[in-house]
Amino acid sequence: MYTSHEDIGYDFEDDPKDKKTLKPHPNIDGGWAWMMVLSSFFVHILIMGSQMALGVLNVEWLEEFHQSRGLTAWVSSLSMGITLIVGPFIGLFINTCGCRRTAIVGGLVNSLGWVLSAYAANVHYLFITFGVTAGFGSGMAYLPAVVMVGRYFQKRRALAQGLSTTGTGFGAFLMTVLLKYLCAEYGWRNAMFIQGAVSLNLCVCGALMRPLSPGKDGNNPGGRHPQVLPAPSTESIKSNGPVSRAEEKGDPPGNEETLSDLAAQACQEKAGLRKNMGALRVLKTVSQLTLRVRKGFRDWYSGYFGAASLFTNRMFVAFIFWALFAYSSFVIPFIHLPEIVDLYNLSEQNDVFPLTSIIAIVHIFGKVILGIVADLPCISVWNVFLMANFTLVLSIFILPLMHTYAGLAVICALIGFSSGYFSLMPVVTEDLVGIEHLANAYGIIICANGISALLGPPFAGWIYDITQKYDFSFYICGLLYMVGILFLLIQPCLRFIEQSRKKYMDGAHV
């Protein structure tokens, strides 16, 4: 569901030269690779599913703190936005520490954010504990899950990513039901505390992320720790050190005092040697860690900020503008629909089958079906992508006109199905920038999506506070979404005009 950074395998740790060595690995496209899919599937359930169910908690926070809808919506949008915005920066942690450690630490931070949020005294407290802390932990756990699936699969990468990302839809359905039950039975504070405990399973998912090649260090090709010479034993010191010199001088061998003095001296020398060896090990470890951090930062910086050539591609720049406007239109219904249902007095019907769950379930099928259609040789991926976008923006315009549960359910099903175009985004991005710039370009698109997710829900809440209606929020977001689509449509026309003009000028010169 989260734009298919789910569907792309970022390879922060691998040097392109090493990819050939990974092909014959027995776990590529099989074996432990399917455990990576299972791990990523549960990460999508626990992170993306939970974020798509935050509308349940948003209603509770409105009742508890009596703040404006615009201010309260910042809690959810901060968590969702930061998860995406930090995506490119988490690459630095992955380069330095590896996917497994990054995911485990992310699970701990995410769980801490949930637990601390249970003690919130006001909305501003939630900004820090849930929005920033839990959001940053989500980003740390989420990206490694995507990276590892991309590393373990080559021939079946699309299938593996597709299976793992269906966890988002399942998670949105399951977590909505779970949070509604926990809030009803134990209150929202205890619900967040329990959810924090559930989020610790992210550490288990991270532990499953076994590296393909444990030893990629060029100085240590086998992946083993460098051998350290054992410290000399007391006996060897006695035989080779002062004791031997004492015997050469002809000291009586039975002199116990001399032997005890020599033994004490040997112990002191041994202790000093151990200290020196320990200091050398610490210095060597610090030196290696410094080199890894510098190399990781250099690779990360050149990968994202050294990709200035991407911004000379006007079609890609238009794609960024589209991402800025489009994603908020998908996020807003998840956050505000539970309250809209209450305003329409449809709570009883929504409790039986929540509208957000309809979006989540149909979204799964939308991804699969649109992916299959786009793979047909007679159909252009761009055409499928644009048609799905038009369907989604049309659904956003129609949603405020529906005031019955059945009408809202139909529109939510359309939103869920058409938003399946997220699975096509890696293909579209590759068409724009080429395979060599795909990871860098997609990192930029992730940031644009994160900004959209960050600003969209508070903007909708702010419009409601002014107009006392959510209708204008959807209309304005739909218009912005349409502007983004027009950017995508205008650029090919401008390119065609430029090419035609160039051909004309070349013909005139001839």
What does the pLDDT look like over 57-111, one tens digit per residue? 988 999 999 888 888 888 988 998 898 888 777 777 877 788 899 999 999 999 9
Q: What is the pLDDT of residue 45?
A: 92
Q: What is the pLDDT of residue 471?
A: 86
Q: Please give the CATH topology (third level) of the domain spanning 308-509.
A: Growth Hormone; Chain: A; (1.20.1250)
Q: What percent of the chain has pLDDT over 70?
A: 73
pLDDT over 60 (residue 136):
yes
Mean pLDDT computed over 190-198: 94
Q: What is the pLDDT of residue 232?
A: 40
Among 151, 199, 140, residue whose Cα is nearest residue 175: 199
Q: Where are the domains of the chain?
A: 27-211+292-306, 308-509
Mean pLDDT computed over 458-479: 86
13-61 pLDDT per residue, tens:
444 444 444 445 666 777 788 899 899 999 999 998 898 888 889 889 9
Q: Distance between CA atoms of 222 and 139, rounded to whole angstroms?
A: 31
Q: What percent of the chain has pLDDT over 90?
A: 21
Q: Are 368 and 434 in contact (CB under 8 A)?
A: no
308-351 pLDDT per residue, tens:
567 777 888 888 888 888 888 778 887 788 888 888 888 888 88
Count of C-beta atoms within a 10 Å radius of residue 387: 14
At 433, list the tokens. Answer: 């920038």
Domain 27-211+292-306 sits in CATH 1.20.1250.20 = yes
414-435 pLDDT per residue, tens:
998 998 887 777 778 777 877 5
How confident is residue 495, by pLDDT bands cut at 50, 70 and 90? low
Q: Distance between CA atoms of 338 and 359, rounded to whole angstroms?
A: 13
Which residues in 78-112 are b (16+ Cβ under 10 Å) and which e?
Answer: bbbbbbbbbbbbbbbbbbbbbbbbbbbbbbbbbbb
Q: What is the pLDDT of residue 340?
A: 86
Q: Distance between CA atoms of 353 and 32, rounded to whole angstroms?
A: 37
Of 118 and 229, the structure prediction assigns the larger pLDDT to 118
Q: Distance between CA atoms of 39 and 351, rounded to whole angstroms?
A: 30
Nearest-10 crossing angle of helices 135-152, 33-43: 160
Q: What is the pLDDT of residue 218?
A: 36
Q: Distance between CA atoms of 396 and 478, rounded to whole angstroms?
A: 6
pLDDT over 80 (residue 446):
no
Q: What is the pLDDT of residue 164?
A: 82
232-262 pLDDT per residue, tens:
443 443 444 444 444 444 445 555 556 566 6
How confident is residue 394, by pLDDT bands cut at 50, 70 and 90? very high
Give the CB-side neighbour count of residue 96, counting CA atoms within 13 A.
15
Q: Distance between CA atoms of 85 and 76, rounded to whole angstroms?
A: 14
Of 411 and 501, the structure prediction assigns the larger pLDDT to 411
pTM beyond 0.95, yes or no: no
Of 403 and 223, the structure prediction assigns the larger pLDDT to 403
